[in-house]
A = this chain, B = another copy of it.
Amino acid sequence: METRAYDELIGRLKEHSLLASCGHVLGWDERTYMPHHGSAHRAEQMALLARMTHEMLTSPRIGELLGQAEGSLDSTTADSIPAANLREIRRSYSRAVKIPKRLVEELARVTTRAQQVWQEARQANDFAAFRPWLEKIIQLKREEAQAIGYASEPYDALLDEYEPGATAAEITRIFADLRAELVPLLKQILASGRQAAREILEREFPVAQQETFGRAAAARAGFDFDAGRLDVTTHPFCSGIGPGDCRITTRYNLRHFNDAFFGILHEAGHGIYDQGLDPAHYGTPLGSAVSLGIHESQSRLWENQIGRSRPFWQYFFPQARQAFPQALANVALDDFVFAINDVRPSFIRIEADEATYNMHIIFRFELECALVGGDLKPADVPGAWNEKFEKSFQLRPPTDALGCLQDIHWSMGGIGYFPTYTLGNLYAAQFMARARQDLGDLDADFSRGEFGRLKGWLHEKIHCQGQRYLPAELCRRVTSKPLGHQPLLDYLRNKYGLLYGL
């Protein structure tokens, strides 16, 4: 293939990513250290960067170069790295040119401010304060969906940003399959008569020790702290800023071990993915994460499949006892493992166990589809949320802070983001099942605190692939099967079967 156009295109893409990555630093700062009164100025900065990166990506020259480079692909290069790069650049370009610059800038500005408002509204349990911002965001995202266009549902246009190639219809189907088997499993668990001593986890866990212990576990799992950080935020996240710089955050709860520890493992899982991207392809699709669903599979895998497993704690529990002697000195390993896997309906998604977690996502997905479709008004979100929550869990959130205000996503404009969490759980289970086939006795590794073989496998099969394949195709290549709900259910049935004697 003729490479001049391709090379110029890649150069421009890299520059675009570099400027976007400046925005990532600002975004991280906004949520960790920015002073309160810096919010308005930050919104202007973010809007400017959003507009400039949008301009770079939608420059007519990108269109010309794309056309020329695509034209020079032939049958010998159809499956090459350049072909994959061009496919994904075309996807981003086509999407970006359809969104008016005004809309890009307004979304950046509105969502930067809205995140601050959300943070305060959540603290004050004041949905009314957040409502006008949610209305504005939904309106802008509906405009965005119209501008992008879609085959059947406007939601698809938004979803595609996070999970390329996925559709609401497909997700509806796989979520329905999952729910059909999950609801009876949940009933079985709750009817088992067994209850974990979750009180173990609600003793006093000094924050400084939580940090040290969580940091050590993340490092042992493979998160590189020379190329990353751990900080404190209201809503934990992972931000891959660029080669050598990936940052995770958490929040500490003196009286709940799970929040920070599993949060750290979760974000470290994201971080290990980001740190595993190929720096030689930085700034191009081949050096970028493929989708939020796949990203989430990596965090879920470390948080749950590994972090909540008995072998993991065979290694870490003695250390945990040393770190938290007052809380854990008299606790047995199996009681601890049961406690961290306690299944109980609860209000907060990020504190949910693995069995109920997906029910949180399924109803959020339904609410989002209705919001984007225009069937639900933002003002009616609290009522609709509580109703759906009650149907799923036979509990009603006593406050909006424990209900529709709990998550940051909508304030960030992240509509279409939630379903990727459950996609992540599904992918994680399917990947892990395959890794166990390929690598033999991983539990023996984990019980010795060894995670290198698994990390290497994930690196080779997933991380360093970047966007070489679409998520669905990547899944087929790694596991020889399309994504299904069975591996996750098998995993949950096996785990809870043992714990609850089902």
Pick out which of these stretches binds chain B: A237-245, A325-333, A408-416.
A237-245
Chain B residues contacting A48 (CB-CB under 8 Å) are 15, 18-19, 22
- Contact (Cβ within 8 A) A35 B225: yes
Q: Does A71 belong to the interface (CB within 8 Å)?
A: no
Contact string against B for A residues 29-68, beta-carbon threshold 8 Å, 1 for contact and 0 otherwise: 1000111111111101100110010000000000000000
Contact B36 A229 (CB under 8 A): no
Size class of A's contact patch? 35 or more
Chain B CB within 8 A of A226 CB: yes
Q: Which residue of B lies closest to A44 (CB)?
A: B18
- Contact surface of A with B, Cβ cutoff 8 Å: 15, 18-19, 21-23, 25-26, 29, 33-42, 44-45, 48-49, 52, 224-229, 231, 241-247, 282
Q: How far is the CA of A98 from the CA of B488 in the complex (A)?
A: 63
A381, B388: Cα distance in complex, Å:
73
* Contact call B229/A41, Cβ cutoff below 8 A: no
Is the CB–CB distance between B45 and A244 below 8 Å? Answer: no
A244–B21 touching, CB < 8 Å: no
Return chain B residues, CB-CB under 8 Å to A35: 225-229, 244-247
Q: Quick one: given A25-B29, A29-B25, A48-B19, are A226 and B37 in contact (CB under 8 Å)?
A: yes
Nearest-neighbour CB distance to chain B for A375, whole angstroms, equals 39
Would you list 30 pairs from A and B whose C-beta atoms are within 8 A, ordered by A residue?
A18-B44, A18-B48, A19-B48, A22-B23, A25-B45, A29-B29, A33-B33, A33-B231, A34-B245, A35-B226, A35-B227, A35-B228, A35-B244, A35-B245, A36-B244, A37-B224, A37-B226, A37-B243, A37-B244, A37-B245, A38-B241, A38-B244, A38-B245, A39-B244, A41-B243, A41-B244, A41-B245, A42-B242, A42-B245, A52-B52
Collect the chain B residues with CB atoms within 8 Å of residue A246's CB. Answer: 35
Q: Which of B21, B45, B225 is the one whose CB lies under 8 Å from A21?
A: B45
Tell me, in angstroms, the Cα distance from A472 to B329 when the chains sit together: 70
Chain B residues in 8 Å Cβ range of A37: 224, 226-227, 243-245
Q: Tell me, rounded to whole Å, the shortest Cβ–Cβ distance linking A286 to chain B.
A: 17
Apart from A18-B44, A21-B45, what are 13 other A-B pairs with CB-CB below 8 Å?
A: A15-B48, A21-B41, A22-B23, A25-B25, A25-B26, A25-B29, A33-B33, A35-B245, A35-B247, A37-B244, A38-B227, A41-B243, A42-B242
